[in-house]
Amino acid sequence: MREKLEKPVAVTRSSLPPLEEYVEMLKPLWDSAWLTNMGDYHEEFRRQLMEYLKAEHLELFVNGHMALELAVQALELTGEVITTPFSFASTTHAIVRNGLTPVFCDINSYDYTLDVSLIERLITEKTSAIVPVHVYGNLCDVEAIQEIADRHHLKVIYDAAHTFGEELDGQGVAGFGDVSMFSFHATKVFHSIEGGAVSYRDLRMGERLYQLKNFGIMDSETVEYVGANGKMNEFQAAMGLCNLRHVDVEIEKRKKLAARYQERLSGVRGIRLCRRNPRVKMNYAYMPVVFDGYKKNRDQIFHELARHNIHARKYFYPCINSYACYRGRFDEHETPVAAGISRQVLTLPLYADLDPAVVDMVCDIILE
């Protein structure tokens, strides 16, 4: 029988720059004693990110959730917002915490993003926006979604937490929709410990986002909005600046590991991998595998891997519309594809410094 790994392997592991590199960045902070409130690193990070993401406009936040919640607030939406139940809690929470009603649209079964053929039948006179998610770094059908939004005068807010640095035909994902939210949480492809950003199209959004993350303060004597505290601090920005120097190498390493998984697991009956869009430059954020009619089910594989000290993740399970906090308000049965995938999907360990031998071991365990 195969040996259990001595050290546990988690689904991801935060990338860190060489310690000296980060320490070097901290020295100026000890001189200036300017630790937060849009300091020099904040500005430098913002500038470099705009370039990297090919974003026309960008505002930084303390985390991705705050970025999304305040972006929704900045758009002054009302009524209903169409979104996906197949995402992280943050997506729907950002809608509900703004006093809006989420309306769940099902996903397609090949890349798990919104099924665009189902959106229009959910639009009512109360609908004000669509909040799609680029799940696992798979880009939504941005063209179809924009066309629907234009036809019905709806805003589009992308949860782009999984798509750092991705491009469609050479265009940065930051350019899609009215706004896009990025997360720089420690578990993401690129991180600033915690952190987030909103890219936006309309210049007026920038001013509003800036004020909303700083309590709605206009100047020392005027508070215009009921804002929050969503500011990114200098330690976060410094980490972001360090990690930005290494992110391309990290993505390249991820790509190799993903290819190894792909090679071992594709073409196996009952195992489904994501369909890749050749127009997209991917970041290889996740390695989702769907077990549909395979000899073992998802939960059996999950436990088998755990027995070997390899900890895959049921991501996303459960669907948001079956969360305890939304009980009685929504029904998972209304989105059968999402409900089904959430019971069949497992994201396998994938991070830049993952040992390729572990990838092989994971595949062996799955296949035997």
Catalog residues that contact ligand PLP under the rule CB under 6 A: 63-65, 87-88, 90-91, 133, 159, 161-162, 183, 185, 196
CB-nearest residue to ligand PLP: 64
How many other CB atoms are found less than 10 A from the CB of residue 74? 27
Cβ 112 to ligand PLP, closest distance in Å? Answer: 11
Residue 193 or 238: the one with the smaller Cβ distance to ligand PLP is: 193
Residue 60 or 271: the one with the smaller Cβ distance to ligand PLP is: 60
- For residue 38, the one-letter residue type is M
Cα separation values, 302 from 11, 136, 289, 305, 315, Å? 11, 19, 11, 5, 12
Cβ 186 to ligand PLP, closest distance in Å? Answer: 9
Q: How far apart, in whole angstroms, are the C-alpha atoms of residue 322 and residue 329?
A: 9
Residue 215 or 315: the one with the smaller Cβ distance to ligand PLP is: 315
Task: Identify whether the C-beta of residue 199 lies closer than 8 Å to the C-beta of residue 57.
Answer: yes
Residue 138 or 322: the one with the smaller Cβ distance to ligand PLP is: 138
Centroid of chain to Cα 137: 7
Cβ 356 to ligand PLP, closest distance in Å? Answer: 25
Cβ 148 to ligand PLP, closest distance in Å? Answer: 21
Cβ 319 to ligand PLP, closest distance in Å? Answer: 13
Which sign, positive or negative, has the C-alpha torsion 196, 200, 205, 210? positive
Residue 284 or 294: the one with the smaller Cβ distance to ligand PLP is: 284
Q: How far apart, in whole angstroms, are the C-alpha atoms of residue 155 and residue 75?
A: 8
Residue 344, token pair as written in the block: 């069949």
Cβ 162 to ligand PLP, closest distance in Å? Answer: 6
Write the DSSP symbol of residue 154: -
Cβ 195 to ligand PLP, closest distance in Å? Answer: 7
Alpha-helix residue ranges (DSSP H) falling in the chain:
19-32, 40-52, 64-74, 89-96, 142-152, 203-212, 234-265, 298-307, 336-344, 356-367
Cα separation values, 298 from 256, 260, 311, Å? 25, 20, 13
Residue 294 or 330: the one with the smaller Cβ distance to ligand PLP is: 330
Residue 167 or 194: the one with the smaller Cβ distance to ligand PLP is: 194
Residue 91 or 322: the one with the smaller Cβ distance to ligand PLP is: 91
Residue 88 or 200: the one with the smaller Cβ distance to ligand PLP is: 88
Q: How far apart, in whole angstroms, are the C-alpha atoms of residue 169 and residue 158?
A: 18
Which sign, positive or negative, has the C-alpha torsion 143, 55, 85, 151? negative
Alpha-helix residue ranges (DSSP H) falling in 53-111:
64-74, 89-96
Cβ 96 to ligand PLP, closest distance in Å? Answer: 14
Cβ 87 to ligand PLP, closest distance in Å? Answer: 5
Residue 232, token pair as written in the block: 């990114």
